[in-house]
Structure 1
């Protein structure tokens, strides 16, 4: 780990801590998490994360963190005292919650007043809640049994706590969803005036609950052209609704309310690194992406967590599972992290970073422009609305052959 971080910039890092536990596993979820873990395993996990944090902090040395996030899973699955312990761990690592933007994930079932109170007291600036749908029938169809009354109560609890930013996740393309029911969810979300809203297309990922139930749709969700067309229509409806309500589109999924403050130290995902703590977390340096092992299937997730808990502390001195980015891959990562944002690419910034024109390195950009999916202006390269709505196709299209081969050869677990 010392070698991984030697020579890396450490003045504006992202600190992420992963809590791989939930009260239930949604049918669409392909994250690294398990539901209803034994209390002893949760306690053991929190103790092991603290040991990992000690070793990683010693390896990285002095560092400043510009962003902090606690995700999962559902961090608010933890008991209030355990949540407070997470914030103590972050502070000991150097994460100054309350000073830099700090985001925590929650769910309607776990956004209780005592848990949200801990988040507010410890300086959380953003709470993100996965609502997915305000209609009970749609939520159940997605493998997420919940009641709208509980969703509304959770949102009221978050707002009452005075946390500056609320993010609300919604999903389009759910079984049985129509333009009318989608409008109902959008309107219900807007009544809370969240600072951010993320609109996610439903994908049926391998090894998820929906994958087992909807065997007619393949893992990419691309086997049904009619469903693709429906999701595209619902996306456009959601995009236009949010724009009309005063939200600025930042990417295919990400919308931010006009006037919402954006205070805090600068963080540039193209150039600044990320430190991940916990089983299932990922980390990034300039030339390495690394993590622990990863799985989606319940049996394999449990096996990996058990292995993590048995590890001696010096195991955390090493980055085990990763991908080394050569200069070409570093260019490609920069391109993907920039092009798929609504504000697009600054060609001068790319040339300053890599010494070559971005269009020369990636002539595919001209193909996008020829289709009307991108504008190649001298001072800015951006996706058009038609391009932005195809981000989930453009991104994989730009992946390199070695990465594509590695993805193909990966054994799903």
Structure 2
């Protein structure tokens, strides 16, 4: 090992007193990124960053940072609307960036994309003609064959129109993910998400009519006023469409979001009591949702992801979409090499987001990484353990040993023994798998942050939310 970050016990980690601490979908977390001009290595050219990387099974992600509305819980990199031909200027910049990135990948080794995804924001905020252009950028500039690889696209009820979906189906989309969150109109309003169930049902019908193989529906539990009865009603409304996938997300209230501002004046004592009750509500609803989906013929892939038994695998799993070899295009997109994760700047506040997007659309030089974090050997071990362990399938110890030459119990003894003592591990890996128990999966959002290194945790704590 080149550093001691993997073997260092996370003594500074906060005790897992709350089950919902942080949704861990990537490591290191984006709030640990910093401007690379401040790093001794500086803003390195992309051609240098990718020179020694494998390029025969890359993933392509393109971020569209526009939405028709911004939900009260959303802290994603997106803005409301796109005035004055902003989408055109954004696509122009994407075209320039894609050309530069593809040139940086070179032609010495074969460059092949094994998966692609359009996220946001809401990619289907773009018109049908603009979606055609987006696909052209992926294919003609980057060289991704969208009709021969899994292509996942996010949408919303109001933008899942027949003409947009027809473009996606014709260009090779294999999976459409729609954020519904709740089929109960009152709950949608409580989450500051203006929508009507009739519009949601109409959008789902159009997605099915488009013939795209995999439909994913996102639902949220923990909304103010939500009960087991209304949660079951949303689950059953989703199940009526027989979606190939369902994601069940716990509600989080983040700084600078609509819901975050609404709760900013709550007294500390009252907040602590409210948090405890909210944790109980979310755990209760999670377990009810999990058990209901398992009874309905779905398999659990992670705490959040459920796949209908026998459904095609036409999109990346939670773990696969965060592996090395990710090329991200656009504001809000991250790229992953084996030793550096990089992106553009990140913000939540609308004015900051608008400024970052405006800077992107006027940029001419995309040849260097701007913001990011280096991933040394110790952090790579943490990342491998964390992202594997948070999947129901677990970590294959033989793969870990083949990659790093050590055993996860040697590298992370304190953490793994602590998880075992809490009942979060299923057995001791004697079958070659290190995996979570059902209760461990339920506490994924407490377990994940405990695997963050002290250095990453310190960087996250020092991050100034903007």
TM-score, normalization by structure 1: 0.96
Q: For residue 80 of structure 2, what is the aligned residue in structure 1?
A: 35
Equivalence map 1:98-117=2 (5 Å): 98-117=147-166
Q: 1:264 to 1:37 in 2, by over 3 A?
A: closer
Q: Which moved more, 1:54-63 or 1:187-196?
A: 54-63
Aligned counterparts of 1:126 and 1:244: Cα–Cα separation in 2: 24
CA contact (8 A) 1:19 1:71 kept: yes
Aligned counterparts of 1:159 and 1:263: Cα–Cα separation in 2: 15
Per the TM alignment, residue 48 of structure 1 is displaced from its structure 2 partner at its CA by 0.4
| Among candidates 288, 294, 305, match of residue 340 of structure 2 | 288
Per the TM alignment, residue 91 of structure 1 is displaced from its structure 2 partner at its CA by 0.6
Deviations 1:233-283 (A, max 9, x none): 000000001000000000000000001022689995575410000111101
Q: For residue 373 of structure 1, what is the aligned residue in structure 2?
A: 424
SS of 2:361's partner is: helix
Aligned counterparts of 1:392 and 1:44: Cα–Cα separation in 2: 38
Q: For residue 88 of structure 1, what is the aligned residue in structure 2?
A: 136
Q: For residue 397 of structure 1, what is the aligned residue in structure 2?
A: 450
Q: 1:193 to 1:358 in 2, by over 3 A?
A: same
CA contact (8 A) 2:151 2:314 kept: no
Runs of 4+ in 1 over 6 A off after TM superposition: 264-267
Per the TM alignment, residue 42 of structure 1 is displaced from its structure 2 partner at its CA by 1.1
SS of 1:262's partner is: coil
Alignment of 1:224 with 2:224, yes or no, is: no
Q: For residue 54 of structure 2, what is the aligned residue in structure 1?
A: 9
Deviations 1:338-378 (A, max 9, x none): 00000111111100000011111011112211221103222
Aligned counterparts of 1:281 and 1:204: Cα–Cα separation in 2: 22
CA contact (8 A) 1:22 1:74 kept: yes
Aligned counterparts of 2:246 and 2:316: Cα–Cα separation in 1: 22
CA contact (8 A) 1:217 1:224 kept: no
Q: 1:263 to 1:177 in 2, by over 3 A?
A: closer
SS of 1:189's partner is: helix
| Among candidates 172, 175, 194, match of residue 126 of structure 1 | 175
Q: For residue 406 of structure 1, what is the aligned residue in structure 2?
A: 459
Higher relative contact order (CA 8 A, sep 6+): 2
Query: What is the CA RMSD across the aligned residues, in angstroms?
Result: 1.7
Q: For residue 138 of structure 1, what is the aligned residue in structure 2?
A: 187
CA contact (8 A) 1:199 1:254 kept: yes
Q: For residue 333 of structure 1, what is the aligned residue in structure 2?
A: 383
Q: Which runs of 5+ in 1 are unaligned?
A: none
Q: For residue 184 of structure 1, what is the aligned residue in structure 2?
A: 233
Q: Which runs of 5+ in 2 are unaligned?
A: 1-45
Aligned counterparts of 1:125 and 1:341: Cα–Cα separation in 2: 22
CA contact (8 A) 2:213 2:314 kept: no
Q: 1:165 to 1:270 in 2, by over 3 A?
A: closer
Aligned counterparts of 1:268 and 1:30: Cα–Cα separation in 2: 23
